[in-house]
Amino acid sequence: MKWRHVWRNMSYFFCLIVLSLFGIIFNTSSSLFVTNVAFMLIVLSLLSLAWPLKKLQIEHSAQQIHAHDSQQPLQLVLQGRGFFPRIVIKSPTEPLLSTIYYGQKTPFTWSQALDRGVYTSMPLAVTASDFFGIAKKSRRLKWHQPLVVGPQIETDFANKIAAALVQMVQAAAQDTALTSMDLQSLRNYRVGDPINMIDWKITAKEDNIIIRKNEPEKRVHWQGIFLGEPDDAFEIRLGTFFSLAANTTLWERSLYVTDRIYEAPTWTELAELQASPVALKNLMATSPSPKQTLIIFGSQQLTYDGLKTQFGKTALIYVQVNDQAASIQSARMNLVVARRDEHAQVAS
**How high is the pLDDT of residue 149?**
92
Residues 115 and 38 grouped into a single domain? yes
pTM, two decimals, is: 0.68
**How high is the pLDDT of residue 272?**
94
Residues 58 and 95 grouped into a single domain? yes
Question: Domain range holding 254?
Answer: 155-182+219-346
Identify the residue with better confidence: 270 or 27: 270
Residues 123 and 229 grouped into a single domain? no
Asked, for residue 57, whether it belongs to a domain, the answer is: yes
Phi-psi region of 277 (alpha: psi -120 to 50; beta: other; left: phi over 0): alpha
Amino acid at 142: K
Residues 115 and 237 grouped into a single domain? no
Nearest residue to 339 via CA among 115, 159, 167, 116? 159
Domain count for the chain, please give it: 2
Asked, for residue 166, whether it belongs to a domain, the answer is: yes
Asked, for residue 40, whether it belongs to a domain, the answer is: yes
d(CA 164, CA 76): 40
Domain boundary among 150, 174, 193: 150
Nearest residue to 21 via CA among 10, 32, 12? 32
Confidence of residue 345 (pLDDT cuts 50, 70, 90): very low
Residues 119 and 163 grouped into a single domain? no
Asked, for residue 274, whether it belongs to a domain, the answer is: yes
Residues 167 and 91 grouped into a single domain? no
Q: Which tens digits make up the pLDDT trace of 183-213?
A: 346 778 777 777 777 777 777 777 778 777 6
Confidence of residue 62 (pLDDT cuts 50, 70, 90): confident
Residues 125 and 162 grouped into a single domain? no
Asked, for residue 279, whether it belongs to a domain, the answer is: yes
- Contact residues for 190 (Cβ-Cβ < 8 A; gap 6+): 211
Where would I find the H helices in the chain?
A: 3-20, 22-26, 29-50, 155-176, 200-205, 234-247, 267-272, 279-284, 304-311
Confidence of residue 240 (pLDDT cuts 50, 70, 90): very high
Domain boundary among 150, 168, 196: 150
Domain boundary among 132, 150, 168: 150
